[in-house]
Structure 1
């Protein structure tokens, strides 16, 4: 990993990341039931692009809006400001909950929402449907990121895809033998690595247990790890409570996971490719695998506020950040697969897209991107009620004890 990634790693040290989201195309009508049984509010999408208003107020994850302040060589903001006249005011958010709260104030125009936030924003009426015809770079976004359950409703896009990654299994090669191929090693109550197993500290991690059960307990009939009825949800929570007995620590701050694996305090657990790269750069003997059951993962969505005071600048920003050059810059700086297929020819490291599987749809076919759990099951079932994100949040506190 480059020193630039090391610097952004330090900037990300407050447990910042809970990612996923993206885009599609269609009409402004919304339907379906969200949190609390709400229908999607009817909000008109932008019909045509006008002149920039001179300012755009952004909420983003650390490392997504770089203007050369962190590193002089890392800047995809200054050129945008000169080209469009839109001055970028960026507010870095530490969590998805903070992003949702900030967007509800109406003071921000655009947000880099995660999949555990995006549907909350859509059903809450906080973001507007996006007219992808006004984003000239949208056509070059990988098809595998458009019109997904976490970033669209009834075929209508609610954002522009940013980047993606899988939640992988990392292990110390000098300790964990044989090399693991299944998530079973992190759920084994008799694990020889008890006390040195780590897991992601977020309610959305319940989906990791659900995915494992989906593959190993077919009688539960789980079709989507984000759509869990009472019985399925209880099975996932019970598995996580069992796993808690072998967990050494949960991580959300990825600098701490790097240090834990380097020191040998953690030898096995969930991770991201960028963390593995940084851990290897610190000379720790680690490898990662996408286990046989598949994995959860994340993809980001740039979404525009329903109350945007600077909607033209918001659209100009969304189009810019998914442009080949800017998207390559962010993907490389942050450590993720870009969403624009043309970005792979623009990265400084010619192997970047290979490392992050950017063009490998067969790889990402095994990834279940983070999606906000709703009471109306996101797998399409209508005969049962599923557990919503509030229930996941409550259950997560009981898992950790």
Structure 2
């Protein structure tokens, strides 16, 4: 995912027109980079609404809202896979009124995926904002045939492969092997069968692996040196390397990149609901969304915003993600309890295998 900062709070105020009247305030609970100063200034100039930003992360967002029963903030930005579970357990959010959102501003596949993953009963609790993926980072000169996760096990890249022994590797390989692990989330026995098949594949693939990377800097070093020519990694890492070496880039796997989405969600006790909807509609405008991409480092679910991005970043994004690749992303849903144990045991066995 994107590099996200710790928890701080800043208040950015602006006068309400020229009248001296007291301005409405939107209390935003978000990630670092998602509400840059220049965007806030434009929003306040246009609406007269001040924006108070508290930077946080998923765990802290849930903790803050749980402690107040959904109070203290007017708009929050949890990841889509962290909404339905928290809502079912703590009732900290209120449903989104989609009639108050300009849905034409959103990439349709992302909007529909997020709606589906944040629906409880008939109510939707989140709409998408910032997103990113993991997939393949490939030196196209040294590994031109690597197009999907299982290609990392081919003889042509033997000894020059790297990935993490973490759940994204299990999930990615499952999709590349023609299975749908997310569809099996509700059936632990079926999920265990899928993970068992992936475990067998990854055990066979160990001879191809130069190193299992643990940190992003480690992987970037392996790709820069040429010791590794094909890997699993995040899109932003691939684009960073592409700026240094045009042969290296992020490739969206044919079976689908694995995607995360940070959302807009309404705390249950929001006191500025109208201001929250105004902010959502404002920042999803393509020109404004491009300013947020420049700040956050990741793209948004704003339709057409990539056209306003930095020219070099836009070219890298569009090369990695033509429209069909975006529509093919496998978005992470909420992980049911118990599946982590199945995954953990499989990963331990892969690591121990000779």
* TM interval, short-chain normalised: 0.7 to 0.9
Per the alignment, residue 21 of structure 1 pairs with none
CA pair 56-348 structure 1, distance change in 2 beyond 3 A: same
Alignment partner for residue 248 of structure 1, among 211, 214, 218? 211
Corresponding residue pairs, total: 321
Name the structure 2 match of 1:119: 84
Q: What do the CA deviations read for 1:145-198 (whole angstroms, capped 9, x no partner)? A: 23332233456432232144443211234543x52123213457997227x411
The alignment status of 1:146 with 2:111, answered yes or no, reads: yes
Structure holding more helix per residue: 2
SS at match of 1:167: strand
Distance in 1 (CA, whole Å) between partners of 2:117 and 2:319 is 21
1:329 to 277, 280, 291: 291
Report how far residue 207 of structure 1 moved. 2.8
Q: Which has the larger radius of gyration?
A: 2
Unaligned runs of 5+ in 2: 7-21, 349-354
Q: What is the CA deviation profile of residues 329-379 of structure 1, one whole-angstrom value per residue up to 9, with x for unaligned ones?
A: 123444444322253453343872783479954222322111113xxxxxx
Structure 1 Cα separation of the partners of residues 73 and 218 of structure 2: 31
Residues 297 and 370, structure 1, Cα contact 8 Å, conserved in 2? yes
Cα pair 1:198 1:249 within 8 Å, conserved:
yes
Kept in 1: contact 2:135–2:233 (CA 8 A): yes
Distance 2:320 2:278 in 1: 24
- 2:173 — aligned with what? 209
Superposition pairs for residues 66-77 of structure 1, below 5 Å?
66-67=36-37, 75-77=38-40
| Separation of aligned partners in 2, 1:240 and 1:188 | 17
Q: Secondary structure at the match of 2:265?
A: strand
Q: Given that residues 138 and 229 in structure 2 are in contact (C-alpha distance below 8 angstroms), is that contact kept between their aligned partners in structure 1?
A: yes
RMSD: 3.7
- Say if 2:239 and 2:250, in contact at 8 Å, map to a contact too: no
Provide the C-alpha distance between the structure 1 equivalents of 2:228 and 2:5, rounded to a whole number of angstroms: 18
Work out which of the residue numbers 59, 82, 97 in structure 2 matches 1:131. Answer: 97
Q: 1:354 to 1:249 in 2, by over 3 A?
A: closer
Structure 2 residue matching 1:169: 3-state secondary structure: strand
Query: Is 1:91 paired with 2:50?
Result: no
Per the alignment, do residues 151 and 229 of structure 1 end up closer, same or farther by CA in structure 2, a change over 3 Å counting?
Answer: same
Q: Deviations over 1:5-48 (max 9, x none)?
A: xxx97x5489xxxxxxxxxxxxxxxxxxxxxxxxxxxxxxxxxx
Q: Deviations over 1:249-271 (max 9, x none)?
A: 345x6455433422445432222
Determine helix, strand or coil for the equivalent of 1:248: strand
Q: 2:29 aligns with which of 43, 54, 58?
A: 58
Q: Note if 1:80 corresponds to 2:50.
A: no
Q: 1:84 to 1:240 in 2, by over 3 A?
A: farther
The structure 1 residue matched to 2:192, chosen from 230, 234, 254, is: 234
TM-score (norm 1): 0.66
Q: How far did residue 108 of structure 1 move?
A: 3.6
- 2:259 and 2:148 map into 1 onto residues whose CA distance is 16
Alignment partners' CA distance in 2, 1:306 and 1:205? 36
Kindly indicate whether residue 256 of structure 2 is the aligned counterpart of residue 294 of structure 1: yes
- The answer to whether residue 125 in structure 2 is matched with residue 158 in structure 1 is yes
- Counterpart contact for 1:170–1:271, Cα < 8 Å: yes
Closer, same or farther: CA 259–310 of 1 in aligned 2, 3 Å: farther
Q: Distance in 2 between matches of 1:131 and 1:358?
A: 34
Offset of 1:77 from its aligned partner?
1.9
- Are the equivalent residues in 2 in contact too, given 1:206–1:392 (CA < 8 A)? no
Q: Following TM superposition, by how much is the alpha carbon of 1:301 offset from its aligned partner in structure 2, in angstroms?
A: 1.5
Deviations 1:369-390 (A, max 9, x none): 11113xxxxxxxxxxxxxx1x3
Alpha-carbon offset, residue 279 of structure 1: 0.9
Decide whether the 8 Å contact of 2:287 with 2:308 is kept in 1.
Answer: yes
SS of equivalent residue, structure 2 residue 311: coil
Contact 1:171 1:269 (C-alpha < 8 Å) held by counterparts: yes
1:232 alignment partner, SS class: helix
Equivalent residue, structure 2, for 1:179:
145
Aligned partner of residue 236 in structure 2, secondary structure: helix
Conserved 8 A contact 1:338-1:358: no
Distance 1:156 1:358 in 2: 34
1:368 aligns with 2:330: yes
Partners of 1:189 and 1:358 in 2: how far apart?
Answer: 25
